Amino acid sequence: MTATDWDGIAAAALDAVVDANQLRRPRDFDGGSPRTSLSETGQPVVSFASNDYLGLTQHPAVRAAARTAIDDYGTGSGSARLIVGSRPVHSRLEERIATWREAEAAVLFTTGYAANLGVIATMGRWASVICSDELNHASIIDGCRLARAPTRVYPHCDMGALADLLGCSEGPGMVVSDSVFSMDGDLAPIGELSEVCAGRGALLVLDDAHLVLDHPESLHPHCRVLRVGTLSKAVGALGGFATGPRTFMDLLVNAARTYIYTPAAAPAAAAAAAAAIDVIDSPEGDELKRRLRTNIDCIRSGHSSPIIPIIVGAEDRALATSDALGRQGILVPAIRPPTVPVGTSRLRVTVSAAHTNEDLNRLAHALRRAGIDA
């Protein structure tokens, strides 16, 4: 194969994306607050697209912690944790995460994606089967692909189907699920999940990436659980983590390839995350969560998470509606296949504690003008 052949392959593949009307390009914004502007045009917009659910990317204490860490440790770690990349700020963050999540221990990864890949691929070496919810995030899907165990996908939140899959396996199984599903904003039935796993000796891995409000269900006391999370959404920094029994965390440090063979997180990101967790775990954090709950209810009363999907069906309609909102200065992305199934294209509204009443009223008005009922 020549370079010319590869040029043709790349061009044809890109043409297929264009023909499917699925071409995407990043847009630059002039700031991280909900009220920002498009860098290219200068158009002011109110963003309802960020996962900065508590507004902590802009918190003074979080920003100050990052600046101090740069002064103390520089801009990068220079190596993987097991070589010379580990700094006290990384170890302190792991201890802080473990306390925050009420776990024996925590392991820091460079992203939430890397955490899912590392946890699932590592623990999958000993699983007889991995059972994965059909609406799980791409990072979970890719982690299952890297694992050595066969993967079986069960219908969304169908506990009967999950029990049947585990019952057909020989040896210990593993179940993987989002706690909050990223495109629908609904909650996994973690109480039932943990009960099924406890009854069949399966390991439960929960991805808490979008879990910012308290989950109403408790885990079964006899279920062995590992939890994966991100520091780039509600925590407002960058990175990922896993929590669970110390034996499991020590195993990840020694066996998870996305931990062993990746440079340590930038010290500034780790310090910012620790400072943000301090805010979350305080009366100020409680107030931010209350404000977030109120803001969600303003758009869709009683909805379980800050992710509010508005299903419109056709891709063209989703794009047109998103564009119409954009012309009114309201940024709500259109989510289309392959991210969601064909025929379920949607507007994905994400609400933050940083949104004001004026922001929410502008969104509601813009949706009405576009003929959309949230």
Q: What is the pLDDT of residues 123-157, one digit of tens each?
A: 999 999 999 999 999 999 999 999 989 999 999 99
Are both 26-53+306-369 and 59-280 of the same fold? no
Topology of domain 59-280, CATH: Aspartate Aminotransferase; domain 2 (3.40.640)
pLDDT in tens, 287-322: 999 999 999 999 999 999 999 999 999 999 999 999
* Residue 345 reports pLDDT greater than 60: yes
Strand order in the sheet with 130-133: 105-109, 240-244, 225-230, 203-207, 174-178, 130-133, 151-154
Say yes or no: domain 26-53+306-369 is CATH 3.90.1150.10. yes
3-class SS of residue 107 = strand
**CA dist., res. 325 & res. 320, Å (int):** 9
Residue 272 makes CB contacts below 8 A (sequence gap 6+) with 62, 63, 65, 66, 69, 236, 237, 238
Give per-residue pLDDT as tens, 57-94. 999 999 999 999 999 999 999 999 999 999 999 999 99
Domain map (residue ranges) of the chain = 26-53+306-369, 59-280
112-123 vs 138-146: helix axis angle to the nearest 10? 30
DSSP bridge pairs for 29: 38
DSSP alpha helices (H): ranges in the chain? Answer: 3-19, 60-73, 88-100, 112-123, 138-146, 159-167, 190-200, 246-255, 257-260, 267-280, 283-299, 315-327, 357-369
Q: Where are the alpha helices (DSSP H) in 151-189?
A: 159-167
Would the pLDDT of 42 be above 70? yes
Three-state secondary-structure class, residue 29: strand
